[in-house]
Chain A
Amino acid sequence: KAGVTQTPRYLIKTRGQQVTLSCSPISGHRSVSWYQQTPGQGLQFLFEYFSETQRNKGNFPGRFSGRQFSNSRSEMNVSTLELGDSALYLCASSPGLAGLNEQFFGPGTRLTVL
């Protein structure tokens, strides 16, 4: 089975722009979770989507949003980028809800905001 894929792998943007990241889960997995990883804050939970519905949300501003499509692929959008948004964005998929099942991570998208 193919693993979790994320595109693009690297992205450079400037402050004020917006960005969309994509995640394709393992075939058959219905849950996709997004995380932000920075050296200072570690791994922080952004949100989880299950069957096209947001099931859980972390403590991030409304500039961070996401959605999930009927084929379980998910996108994450960040609007009005700030320097502090520079991070490794990871998505993880699981066959059922993330909190109840093993999670499998993608390679991440490295976002740099200049």
Chain B
Amino acid sequence: SYELTQPPSVSVSPGQTARITCSGDALPKKYAYWYQQKSGQAPVLVIYEDNKRPSGIPERFSGSSSGTVATLTISGAQVEDESDYYCYSTDSSGNEGVFGGGTKLTVL
């Protein structure tokens, strides 16, 4: 079955730029979506359709996609951005949804 690959962890200091990657063979054809999940809470959408930001999401969150890699960028990361982040997409047929394994972002 189709897989999306993320690094298990990323660590930055406050104010630095955090980049989380997501690789998958179908990403040139399918959108990537990014979700933030804090401990014990439901996920929250932070980026949709590769690079669009929902209302209410801070401007420091941005997304991009090139070839088989999608990237979530947090410019000027803040302590409150410490969370697990998951990319999501579908296989090339659009019949199977898949989440990446998740990336734990540490800001300290």
A associates with B: no
A residues neighboring B (CB under 8 Å): none
B residues neighboring A (CB under 8 Å): none
